[in-house]
Amino acid sequence: MVAKESLDNQSKYSHQTNTVPKLQKIMLDGGFTCPNRDGRVGRGGCSFCQCESFNPDYCRDNKTIHEQIEAGKAFFRGKYSNMKYLAYFQAYSSTYASLDVLRQRYEEALAVEDVVGLVIATRPDCIDENVLSLLVSIRERNYSVAIELGCESFYDRTLERVNRGHTVAQSITAIQMCKKYAIPVTIHLILGLPGESREDILAQTELINSLPIDALKLHQLQILRGTPIAREWEKNSADFLSFTLDSYSEFVAEFVNRLRDDICIERYASSAPKDMLLAPRFGVKPSVVEGHIKKLLLQKN
């Protein structure tokens, strides 16, 4: 299981040497919105969403894409001697605009010195053949391209309950389309959504293993102040799994043990700003959670 090493900040070929560059993702807000907020699919957004929690400081304050990347480079400068960057369009739905707008924003990122590719995070219902053809044309110029899809759950009843605004079938179709265009795909899954038992969550591994995905990012459900899900949790916390650092680590180790060996785990846990987070409060950074889980995986295997 340790073969499922985190690739969050590096590609498989970027070992840390002086000659082979280290790859670092730079998170960007590309100025996109989301169909679950602007009314195309829904209004109000997913019940767990607090968009303020998305961005690091360097991509706030209405900076251009170019400025955000330069600020990100300055932030990471000095970490390694030889660095290249992936422009990580992370906020909102980064394929949700006309093709002309997408092309213009992706090209602005690629024009920055030392940017060698794009990572595009989006919703499954915002992927189509035109977007994928655009990404393939960028890849043909020797840039790296990858997609991240927010699937979040493989239960329609859960997606409906959290007002996600797309279905499991749409997630599967989007994954298969990425595969058709040979674009690497990472899916995101939230562990602990309301109404899902431990068994329900673990049972999703069967479907995940049958899908042509390359990587998975796992997140504990974070109850953020001011969100609809926070009000639900305050009224009926019994409908939510309540994780501690230890119980979450044990649970994720069990989950990961059930996955195909070739699925890379890019993320084991996430973190929101302390002042926004109501629960669970692990009190440590995601890298510490990751360390706990990897230790458990080594013990199991």
Binding stretches for ligand SF4 (CB under 6 A): 34, 36-37, 45-46, 49, 51, 92, 123, 150
Supply the minimum distance, in Å, between the C-beta of residue 160 and ligand SF4: 13
Which of 241, 237, 228, 160 lies closest to 200 in space, CA to CA?
A: 241
Minimum CB distance to ligand SF4 smaller for 52 or for 262: 52
The separation between CA 46 and the C-alpha centre of its own chain, rounded to angstroms, equals 15
191, β-bridge pairs: 220
Q: What CA–CA distance (Å, rounded) separates 185 from 263?
A: 10
Supply the minimum distance, in Å, between the C-beta of residue 223 and ligand SF4: 14
Supply the minimum distance, in Å, between the C-beta of residue 121 and ligand SF4: 9
Supply the minimum distance, in Å, between the C-beta of residue 37 and ligand SF4: 5
Supply the minimum distance, in Å, between the C-beta of residue 299 and ligand SF4: 34
Q: What CA–CA distance (Å, rounded) separates 240 from 231?
A: 12
Minimum CB distance to ligand SF4 smaller for 26 or for 190: 190
Minimum CB distance to ligand SF4 smaller for 44 or for 212: 44
Minimum CB distance to ligand SF4 smaller for 85 or for 240: 240
Q: What CA–CA distance (Å, rounded) separates 290 from 2?
A: 12
φ/ψ of residue 89, rounded to 5: -75, 100
Which of 215, 117, 133 lies closest to 175 in space, CA to CA?
A: 215
φ/ψ of residue 27, rounded to 5: -70, 135
Q: What CA–CA distance (Å, rounded) separates 208 from 261?
A: 12
